[in-house]
Amino acid sequence: MPENRPLDYRPRLPHRKDWRIGCAGAGFIMRDCHLVAYRNAGFNPVAIASRMLATARAVADLHHIPRVHETLDDLLADPEIEILDVAVPPDAQPDLIRRAVAAGKGRLRGILAQKPLALSVADARDLVMRCADAGIVLAVNQNMRFDQSIRAAKDVLNRGWLGEPVLATIDMRAVPHWMPWAQGLPSLSTFVMSIHHLDTFRYWLGTPDRVLASTRPDPRTRFPHRDGINLYILEYDSGARASSWDDVWAGPCKDGVAGDVGIRWRVEGTDGLMQGTIGWPKYPAREPSTLEYSTRQQPGMWFRPRWDDVWFPDAFVGTMAQLLVAVEDGTEPEIGGRDNVETIALCEAVFAAATEHRVTTVREFLRHDGGSS
């Protein structure tokens, strides 16, 4: 019979909540997710800067941040900042982190980077090395790991209630809002949307041994891109399989058709199964993700834990908290830079498998990273 201890879906919080946080970037993800979550958790953002000074001032006024710097480099040089929270486009992030490491040696304690940490394994490894050499803890905002159903599902797996994992699937029929900066990236869906699901499979099952994938452009997205609708299968030598349909098209549901938009996931094991939904497609409405599971330990019954928390913005408490806890404890963050290098390698493996029409491995991209840009 499943034990009575509640499922572990909330993050561990730091002892200190007044770590002085500097915010690099003032777009949607900072304004409506990070800073809302930090206010709710009692964290302490003390300064902000953005490419557009007026935007930074508006966000500072909204969230009562005391200092606005005229430039990002002024923010990086602020002697009061202990933790840097980065929310800039992925092609700009590696250079910003390198500048932050150079400016913050001996002062800066931690950096929370956005996902993807970088657009190549080479750049990701370079950032990990630079932060380690400077004594700065590097964590990555792979925030789907702190979606409540995804985290609770990991606890179910850890408790062994499903036995040996056999098949994990994610079925996404939802329409992301591509930001303007996405138009210039070498990859669209893989490094911006599919990365959430690929990292989730790594979180649940570990890094796969082989990758098969297919992609086609998204008919709705007008700017040129190679990877739109992504389909992929992850193979594990253990016998487990994982697969996702990342359908960012979801039919002409934005053009008068009554579409069925949502994200559903399922994990089957030798002793049970669990399934759930992700509430994010309903944002800004607060739609909690769901989980239900059944196990041989209590045959014929479904267990359906529920919560009021939601992925956007509540999961962003966890991504910052895991960094602050690591800084306090002198440990590696739950989603550290070193771990995230393998997620980047998995993204590269999926992109290559889909665009080059071949079976790939993560090991291949960890071995041959091509050199830093």
What are the residues facing 48 on neighbouring strands? 23, 68
What is the rounded average pLDDT of the residues 348-361?
Answer: 98
**HSE (side-chain half, CA atoms, 13 Å) at 164:** 8
* Per-residue pLDDT reduced to its tens digit, 299-343: 999 999 999 999 999 999 999 999 999 999 999 999 999 999 999
Fold for domain 20-143+317-333?
Rossmann fold (3.40.50)
Pairing of strands 20-24, 44-49: parallel
More confident residue, 299 or 123: 123
Query: What pLDDT does residue 371 have?
Result: 41
Tokens 């919560």, residue? 307
* Per-residue pLDDT reduced to its tens digit, 29-44: 999 999 999 999 999 9
Fold for domain 147-311?
Dihydrodipicolinate Reductase; domain 2 (3.30.360)
pLDDT at residue 178 greater than cutoff 80? yes
Give the span between the Cα atoms of 322 and 143, in whole angstroms. 11
Coil vs helix vs strand at 298: coil
Amino acid at 71: T
Domain residue limits, the chain: 20-143+317-333, 147-311
pLDDT at residue 366 greater than cutoff 80? yes
DSSP string of 53-95, one letter each residue: HHHHHHHHHHHT-SEE-SSHHHHHT-TT-SEEEE-S-TTTHHH
- In 3D, which of 319, 346, 343 has the Cα closest to residue 333? 319
Give the span between the Cα atoms of 350 and 364, in whole angstroms. 12
pLDDT at residue 3 greater than cutoff 90? no
Residue 191, phi then psi, degrees to nearest 5 = -90, -10
Give the span between the Cα atoms of 191 and 29, in whole angstroms. 16
* Per-residue pLDDT reduced to its tens digit, 192-212: 999 999 999 999 999 999 999
pLDDT at residue 2 greater than cutoff 70? no
pLDDT at residue 9 greater than cutoff 60? yes
Query: Furthest-apart CA pair in the chain: how many Å?
Result: 62
* Per-residue pLDDT reduced to its tens digit, 167-177: 999 999 999 98
Query: Residue 250: left if φ>0, alpha if ψ -120 to 50, beta else—which one?
Result: left
**Taking all residues of the chain, what is their mean pLDDT, rounded to a whole number?**
96
Model-level pTM? 0.96
pLDDT at residue 373 greater than cutoff 80? no
Our measurement of the distance from residue 163's CA atom to the centroid of its chain's CA atoms, rounded to an integer in Å, reads: 27
Query: What pLDDT does residue 372 have?
Result: 39
Amino acid at 165: P
